[in-house]
Amino acid sequence: MDKVIEFLATGFYSGLSPYAPGTVGTVVAAILLWIAFKLGMGLVGFPLVFIIFIIGTFLSHYAENLFGEKDAPQIVVDEFAGLLVAMYNLPVTMLIPAFVLFRVFDILKPPPIRNLQKFHGGVGIMLDDILAGLIANLLIQFIVHFA
């Protein structure tokens, strides 16, 4: 069971990259999302985001124990969830802007994103990325609406 949790929590082992594991994990998530769009998935909706958040919370909680480190960099299921939130209700043409904005907010962690890391376990791992994705999404929605 530990190997399954590791495989999923590390984004199909993309989080094991020695360089920028969060970005590599987000690239894998973006590729999978692009494929899903091309296969006719449609827009990212709330049920998918909710399911990935719940599963990701449990996976990251157990993976944190496996790696023996708080919010271990190998855990990238939170990046998958964050990108989904960034792409919530947006067309595939917004994938690159959503990717870039999400990574900027996730890396810089401006307040209040940084404050969410105080939560322990899987919730703390997931929440900062969810908020980074939400801010990225709202910024894109604002730009698209007023441009």
pLDDT tops 90 at residue 102: yes
Least Cα distance to 74 among 24, 4, 34, 130 occurs for: 24
- pTM for the whole thing? 0.96
CB 117 within 8 A of CB 51: no
Rounded average pLDDT over 82-110: 97
pLDDT tops 90 at residue 77: yes
What is the Cα Rg of the chain in Å? 14
CA distance 38 to 55: 24
- pLDDT tier at 33, thresholds 50, 70, 90: very high
Instruction: Give Cα separations from 108 to 7, 61, 98, 103 (angstroms).
Output: 27, 23, 15, 8
Rounded average pLDDT over 72-86: 98
Instruction: Give Cα separations from 10 to 25, 39, 65, 93, 118 (angstroms).
Output: 8, 24, 13, 26, 21
Q: Write out the DSSP string of 16-50.
A: G-SS-HHHHHHHHHHHHHHHHHHTT--SB-HHHHH
- pLDDT tier at 117, thresholds 50, 70, 90: confident
24 or 119, higher pLDDT: 24
